[in-house]
A and B are shown apart, each in its own frame.
Chain A
């Protein structure tokens, strides 16, 4: 697979604020790539640099091997689905979708046919005559998708596209976006602050913090082998174990991440703990225990017996599940 997108030491500063600082990234063609991070971590700035709405303060960006600096948005074969959809209020749905083709001078009947096809792709055929304001949030989202896809971009940028939808709709759209990606085979770059969304949809995830990329990897790598305390914390709430504790339980003197679902109760061996809190979640039970002053969360399968608060228990985990991290940051 060739490279769709290459960032080399890219920075974007606003005065003293470093929105993006020395970022190196590579996105393969056809990949579903998620940029994950808390708000203000630089992920949206990164997306805007790809779209061409921002220019880097330093560094070099290549899109399909061509230098992107100085190329305006309207000369990039990249289309964006905006967070607020940004549908044109003075045009109906069909004209919204056909806008890009109209600008390129595609003849009227031809562009309406393509627009109808794009609407069909997002399961909105027949709504072309409506105005954007008459549509529900989910429908507007689909129009925004169709409007971007009708131009046959090589990269589709999605800026928190599911943020404004309710949970049910969001899960449905996640499914549909994945199907679309499979169907079209183009590169998707997806910005989100929702780790579940990133893990469930993306082929690879880049985790942003304070304008820097802290880890890039497949969802499994990110989840199982977080390289820092921040990643362990942000992606699924992990137990972050300090070096002295790790050393005491037989590891190196390094920070380590231990996933709640990797911990189990045992009768013998393991480590003595006392139950601090227990909450029944239906499919599982979340237990908080105290192990020599350290609070550790664990997930029990729902069939397991729930110990009472204050009870003394013993917990254990497989040594391989305790993942040593590069940094405690």
Chain B
């Protein structure tokens, strides 16, 4: 009995320590966003100020980087949603020669180290004489965004009964109505989760971006460059803090959405 009671307490402490280890550094980032020391990260902060919020707000380079990141992430996610879903539907719904190979080839970019993908794309763009631009970044990001959407969609397709589509047709719905009233509602939460994950992956991507970007700076690249400059360091922290807050909410939303969605989809069996 004695040891039975002590073990959970030790476990609780260990678990708590683990969580602290994971999340304290993020809190530190927040604290440094308000420090009065702008050249180095000094602990404890010599004083607290909110002036960096205003400084950040007035820096046009940040807005440019943010706009580029949002644009790149949005378009790559859209491409991924379209191609990933179509590919998932093909792989899970029909049998054709080379199906397994295609399935593997779609997933491969996420298994490859980003640096390999980056170098490969860079040399390919060079060979094809494609100038580096926002679109080359988007293409690079789409390679791994497609995988995330594909994985989510394929899992949902496999779990839902193939005869649902036939049942819909049988009840008088044509192809478009079946897509609208049966297929999309059934995969909606999977697409939302896949899309959000794809967006988040693209939004903080550094490695592939460095190889596929020209002069453009996405937000993570901007942060990386900002870190090596000695002045106005807390600005980086303000940006980091805002990014955390802004991305945390949708991800929390996606988590709850797919949790409910899983219950709905699982209940069909």
- What residues of B have a CB within 8 angstroms of the CB of A82 in the complex? 163, 166-167
CB distance from A112 to the nearest CB of B (A): 16
- What residues of A have a CB within 8 angstroms of the CB of B174 in the complex? 72, 74
Could you mark each residue 249-269 of chain B with 1 if its beta carbon is under 8 Å from any beta carbon of chain A, else 0?
A: 000000000000000111111
CB distance from A84 to the nearest CB of B (A): 6
Quick check: is B223 within 8 A (CB to CB) of the other chain? Answer: no
| Stretch of A126-134, A227-235, A298-306 with 4 or more beta carbons under 8 angstroms from chain B | A126-134
> Which B218-269 residues have C-beta < 8 A from chain A?
264-269
State which of A83, A99, A134 has its C-beta within 8 Å of the C-beta of B168. A99
> Which A69-104 residues have C-beta < 8 A from chain B?
72-74, 78-80, 82-84, 86-90, 99-100, 102-104
In Å, the complex CA distance between A281 and B186 comes to: 50
In contact, A79 and B267 (Cβ under 8 angstroms): no
Quick check: is B173 within 8 A (CB to CB) of the other chain? Answer: yes
> A103 with B181: in contact, given A74-B169, A88-B167 (CB under 8 Å)?
yes
Quick check: is B185 within 8 A (CB to CB) of the other chain? Answer: yes
Quick check: is A51 within 8 A (CB to CB) of the other chain? Answer: yes
In contact, A74 and B186 (Cβ under 8 angstroms): no
In contact, B267 and A133 (Cβ under 8 angstroms): yes
- What residues of B have a CB within 8 angstroms of the CB of A84 in the complex? 161, 163
CB distance from B13 to the nearest CB of A (A): 40
In contact, B161 and A86 (Cβ under 8 angstroms): yes
> A89 with B160: in contact, given A133-B266, A133-B269 (CB under 8 Å)?
yes
In contact, A80 and B167 (Cβ under 8 angstroms): yes
In contact, A133 and B181 (Cβ under 8 angstroms): no
Quick check: is B170 within 8 A (CB to CB) of the other chain? Answer: yes
- What residues of B have a CB within 8 angstroms of the CB of A104 in the complex? 172
In Å, the complex CA distance between A72 and B172 comes to: 9
State which of A78, A103, A132, A151 has its C-beta within 8 Å of the C-beta of B268. A132
In contact, B267 and A86 (Cβ under 8 angstroms): no
By beta carbon, the residue of chain A nearest B167 is A86
Interface residues on A, range: 20 to 34
CB distance from B192 to the nearest CB of A (A): 14
State which of A83, A89, A100 has its C-beta within 8 Å of the C-beta of B171. A100
Quick check: is B177 within 8 A (CB to CB) of the other chain? Answer: yes
Quick check: is B164 within 8 A (CB to CB) of the other chain? Answer: yes
CB distance from B189 to the nearest CB of A (A): 9
In contact, A100 and B172 (Cβ under 8 angstroms): yes
- What residues of A have a CB within 8 angstroms of the CB of B171 in the complex? 74, 79, 99-100, 103, 147-148, 151
- What residues of B have a CB within 8 angstroms of the CB of A132 in the complex? 267-268
In contact, B163 and A86 (Cβ under 8 angstroms): yes
State which of A52, A74, A89, A102 has its C-beta within 8 Å of the C-beta of B265. A89
Quick check: is A53 within 8 A (CB to CB) of the other chain? Answer: yes
State which of A80, A88, A90 has its C-beta within 8 Å of the C-beta of B170. A80
In contact, B267 and A89 (Cβ under 8 angstroms): yes
In contact, A79 and B268 (Cβ under 8 angstroms): no
Quick check: is B182 within 8 A (CB to CB) of the other chain? Answer: yes
By beta carbon, the residue of chain B nearest A140 is B268
In contact, A86 and B269 (Cβ under 8 angstroms): no
- What residues of A have a CB within 8 angstroms of the CB of B266 in the complex? 133
- What residues of B have a CB within 8 angstroms of the CB of A51 in the complex? 166, 170
- What residues of B have a CB within 8 angstroms of the CB of A78 in the complex? 170
CB distance from B219 to the nearest CB of A (A): 37
| Most chain A C-beta atoms within 10 Å of own C-beta, residue among B163, B171, B177, B181 | B171
In contact, A131 and B169 (Cβ under 8 angstroms): no
In Å, the complex CA distance between A104 and B172 comes to: 7
In Å, the complex CA distance between A99 and B170 comes to: 11
CB distance from A106 to the nearest CB of B (A): 11
In contact, B172 and A74 (Cβ under 8 angstroms): yes
CB distance from A317 to the nearest CB of B (A): 47
In Å, the complex CA distance between A307 and B174 comes to: 66
- What residues of A have a CB within 8 angstroms of the CB of B181 in the complex? 99, 102-103
- What residues of B have a CB within 8 angstroms of the CB of A74 in the complex? 169-174
In Å, the complex CA distance between A78 and B160 comes to: 24
> Which B138-195 residues have C-beta < 8 A from chain A?
160-161, 163-164, 166-174, 177, 181-182, 185-186
> A103 with B166: in contact, given A89-B186, A89-B267, A132-B267 (CB under 8 Å)?
no
Interface residues of B (CB under 8 A from A): 160-161, 163-164, 166-174, 177, 181-182, 185-186, 264-269
* Apart from A132-B268, A134-B267, A147-B171, 12 more pairs, CB < 8 Å: A53-B170, A72-B174, A74-B172, A87-B167, A87-B268, A89-B160, A99-B171, A103-B171, A103-B172, A103-B177, A132-B267, A133-B264
List 23 contacting pairs A-B, 8 Å CB cutoff, sorted by A.
A73-B170, A74-B171, A74-B174, A78-B170, A79-B170, A82-B163, A83-B163, A86-B161, A86-B164, A86-B167, A89-B160, A89-B186, A89-B264, A90-B185, A90-B186, A99-B171, A99-B173, A100-B172, A103-B171, A103-B173, A133-B269, A148-B170, A151-B171
